[in-house]
Amino acid sequence: MATEILMPALSPTMEEGTLAKWLVKEGDTVKSGDILAEIETDKATMEFEAVDEGVIGKILVAEGSEGVAVNTAIAILAEEGEDVSALEAAPAANAGTKTASTGGSEAAAPARAAPPEAPKPDLSPDWPEGTPMKTSTVREALRDAMAEEMRANESVYLMGEEVAEYQGAYKVSQGLLDEFGAKRIIDTPITEHGFAGIAVGAAFGGLNPIVEFMTFNFAMQAIDQIINSAAKTLYMSGGQMGAPMVFRGPNGAAARVGAQHSHDFAAWYAQIPGLKVAMPYSAADAKGLLKSAIRDPNPVIFLENEILYGRSFEVPAIDDFTIPFGKARIWREGSDVTIVSFGIGMQYALEAADKLAEDGISAEVIDLRTLRPIDYDTVIASVMKTNRCVTVEEGFPVGSIGNHLSATIMQRAFDYLDAPVINCAGKDVPMPYAANLEKLALVTTDEVVAAVKQVTYR
């Protein structure tokens, strides 16, 4: 039976092309792989090969023809011995190109009306009243979280630079090698890209790796594996396999280590669907969130802070204490302004709230704790109450978490705002080394106080 040879699409964007030259003529016998014609696409001149074998019955489009639409019949291929004289061109181009396309533009979400009522955030306490507490540094809390989860699940292991014999560059993994041995506490060579990729592969293979980056600055070497491999595979595989793992380590500025060792990546990772992102401030949150992160079936970015490692907080002394992702913590209730922060930014937020109280300004301070998912409801409900908002973070100001929150507040609580939201952030400069300049580059408590005074018109 005769078949039509159709004008092929030879690039992702080609809709029509020029049939530059026929390399076969009517009556020629062709087999799979033979070159039939040269076709000029929007990008290049391409050779067009036969797929089926047969005899060129009729050439329907002459060489030199321009603007030949994809899927137009350009020749008829007959079987050996078939009478081709009676063959006619079938009606031109079928709709093959259209069937697979889905309109992309109409997918844009319609503008939504602002909800008239305040959301009802989850305000349940993180632990029951009367729970015994113990004092713990953030460092100890992180180690305890890892040790507890490793005791509970044989598939959890820790890998990174200096995590085992050196006991951790910042001593977060102190003692873990002794308890769990070299099979599960693994020193890696200094090859972030490589060991991050190996850990993602191990997660595909059923393990639950914890990858420690000595600092997140070095994770830039590995960011392709974190985003392209860890975050996207569940989606690309239609849900068949993902990367249940944690990438953790200190993030942001420490002190006097200059531009390459002081970067806060919170906003970068928070942008990626498929990742979860936590950035705790207190020791209790560090422990509870890290335990949740290790159990989570998704890749989690866990952003710690070197300056906070040695800070002590009260941690509930209960077995199996976890903090859920996507639940902010209200550290301090207030009525005049909402200050939203996370990670070490909380230090400035809380200090500012103390100072503001002295001036008779009552600030509500919210710690987001996780940046993906973000607990928008707690923020919106608070802003609807206080009508003013200041955000605080250490990262760069362009495309920051504060920018995103401002947009969300504008969409969901525009009518409640009595002043524009102000974002306090790090300065838009690489981190300088000199002590005085470094101080200027970081966000400060005084800046937060000034911002609050601005939005409260004091």
Partner 1 sequence: MAAKRATTKSNVSGEELTRFYRDMLLIRRFEEKAGQLYGMGLIGGFCHLYIGQEAVVVGLESATEDGDKRITSYRDHGHMLACGMDANGVMAELTGRAGGYSKGKGGSMHMFSKEKHFYGGHGIVGAQVPLGAGLAFADKYNGNGRVTFTYFGDGAANQGQVYETFNMAALWDLPCIFVIENNQYAMGTAQARSTSSQDIYKRGEAFGIPGEMVDGMDVLAVKDASERAVKHCRSGKGPYILEIKTYRYRGHSMSDPAKYRTREEVQKMREERDPIENVRQLLLTGKHASEDDLKAIDKDIKAIVNASAEFAKESPLPDEAELWTDIYA
Q: Give the binding site for partner 1 (CB under 8 A).
A: 6-12, 14, 32-33, 35, 41, 43-49, 51, 70-71, 96-100, 102, 107, 157, 183, 188-189, 191, 193-207, 224-225, 228-229, 233-242, 244, 273-274, 276, 297-298
CA distance 372 to 325: 8
Residues facing residue 78 across a β-bridge: 55
Q: Which is nearer to partner 1, 205 or 310 (CB)?
A: 205
Cβ proximity of 132 and 284 under 8 Å: no
Catalytic residue among 4, 192, 306, 364: 192
Any idea what DSSP says for residue 4?
E
209-241 exposure pattern, b = at least 16 Cβ within 10 A, e = fewer? bbbbbbbbbbbbbbbebbbebbbbbbeeeeeee
The distance of closest approach from Cβ of residue 296 to partner 1 in the complex, given in angstroms and rounded to an integer, is 8
Q: Which is nearer to partner 1, 93 or 257 (CB)?
A: 93
Residues 6+ apart with CB under 8 A from 57: 2, 26, 75, 76, 77, 78, 82, 84, 87
Catalytic residue among 148, 212, 261, 404: 261
Q: Which is nearer to partner 1, 99 or 436 (CB)?
A: 99
404 catalytic? Reply is: no
100, 101, 109 from 105: Cα distances, Å: 15, 12, 10
The distance of closest approach from Cβ of residue 182 to partner 1 in the complex, given in angstroms and rounded to an integer, is 11
State both tokens at 349. 């937020």
CB atoms inside a 10 Å sphere around CB 350: 20
434-443 exposure pattern, b = at least 16 Cβ within 10 A, e = fewer? eeeebeebbb
The distance of closest approach from Cβ of residue 373 to partner 1 in the complex, given in angstroms and rounded to an integer, is 9
The distance of closest approach from Cβ of residue 440 to partner 1 in the complex, given in angstroms and rounded to an integer, is 37
Q: Which is nearer to partner 1, 124 or 240 (CB)?
A: 240
Q: Which is nearer to partner 1, 128 or 239 (CB)?
A: 239
Amino acid of residue 198: I
192 catalytic? Reply is: yes
CA distance 108 to 397: 27
CB atoms inside a 10 Å sphere around CB 175: 13
The distance of closest approach from Cβ of residue 234 to partner 1 in the complex, given in angstroms and rounded to an integer, is 5
- The alpha-carbon radius of gyration of the chain (Å, integer) is 31
Q: Which is nearer to partner 1, 230 or 424 (CB)?
A: 230
The distance of closest approach from Cβ of residue 95 to partner 1 in the complex, given in angstroms and rounded to an integer, is 9
Q: Which residues are catalytic?
A: 192, 261
